[in-house]
Every structure is written in structure tokens, then in C-alpha cells.
Amino acid sequence: MTAVTQPRAQRQAPLSYTDPRHVEATQLLVEEAYLMDAQRYDEWLGMLCADIRYVMPVRVTTAKNAGFDTLTGMSHFDEDLFSLRKRVERFATEHAYTEDPPSRLRHHVTNVRAFETANPEELRVESYVLLFRSRGDVRPPEWISAGRVDVLRREGDRLKLAHREILVDESVLRTQNLAVFL
């Protein structure tokens, strides 16, 4: 396995929290969290661009100055709209064993920062998400903490999610499965 070198973050000032674009991006992320918690995945799919890329690379623990913290070609998932739709369709079947009984979910979205990009129709949005999941009454609840970097693109009169990279805060995930969206 080879390591991916993460580019050093550019020091770009985020949009003001009162900027209408920041407000709109924050509202999109909060509404998205609501739809996921309510398991209204068909509606959630409507918030995605047709060319969506939804990626969660595998994190590794490295020395402070190693220059990387993910592995090349190793992802917990790397999906497009077709594969995301297939996951959503599977939730509605009798073959969704990983979600029987259904999870109780809470997505907590925080620290939202929006940035302009070279494309005036897009914003880069950084946020943190903390997922609480409880399944049944015999397993302890699970927590997944992550940072996300999204590209939101204006389509018509609203923003949609065009790209998401999820960087979990653990190298070893302690969750039973990843049948959730972050």
C-alpha cells in the first residue's frame, strides 16, 4: 500500500457567516442531516448532483510530519450516484440485514466554513459531523466523528452536493458496519 500525500491547506479566508452563500450552504447541510436522520434517503438523493463523488478514504496513524494520513486506492467507500442509489434501494428490501432493526441516527453538523472557488457556481464547504447510532437494545451505541470537505454546486435556484470527502477521526473504526451516510 502506498500513501497519499495530502496537500497543505491553502490559507484562504472563509466567507462571512452572514454571507448569503454561507447561510445557504449551512442550511443545505442541516437539511441533509435531517433527511438522513429521518431515513428519507430518496429525498436526500435529490440533493446530489448527477456527477456526485462520495468518498471516505482509509485513515492511517502516522508520524506528525509524515505528509500523509490516508492510503492511495484504499477507501471505505468511493461512490457515484448509481452506487448511492443502489444502497438506498437496498435499505427498502428484506436483504438489508445490517439495518434490521433500523438504526436510530443523529447527525450533528458543526463548524461549517464556506469558501469561494474558481468556479462562481461552486463553493467548497468544510464541516464536522458527529454521528450517533443506536441499534436495538443489546448493542452499545456507536459514535463516528469526521471532518468533511464538500463541493456544493448551484443547479438552478439551489445548491446541490457535487463532491464529498469524509475524513474520519479514527484509523480503526469501531462501528459494526458502515451502512450509514456521513
| 8 Å CB contact between 105 and 32 | no
- Using only the alpha carbons of the chain, give its radius of gyration: 17
Alpha carbon distance 123, 50 (integer Å): 17
- The conformational region for residue 157 under phi > 0 = left, psi -120 to 50 = alpha, else beta, is alpha
Q: What confidence tens digit (pLDDT) does each residue in 18-47 have?
A: 999 999 999 999 999 999 999 899 999 999
3-class SS at 122?
A: strand
Q: What confidence tens digit (pLDDT) does each residue in 81-91 have?
A: 999 999 898 87
- pLDDT of 64 above 80: no
**Reading across the β-sheet that carries 48-59, which strands appear in turn?**
3-5, 68-79, 48-59, 158-168, 142-155, 122-135, 103-116
pTM here is 0.84
pLDDT attached to residue 2: 41
pLDDT attached to residue 96: 56
pLDDT attached to residue 70: 55
pLDDT attached to residue 3: 44
Q: Please report the domains of the chain, with CATH numbers, ordered by start residue.
A: 16-168 (3.10.450.50)
For cell 463553493, name the residue: 123
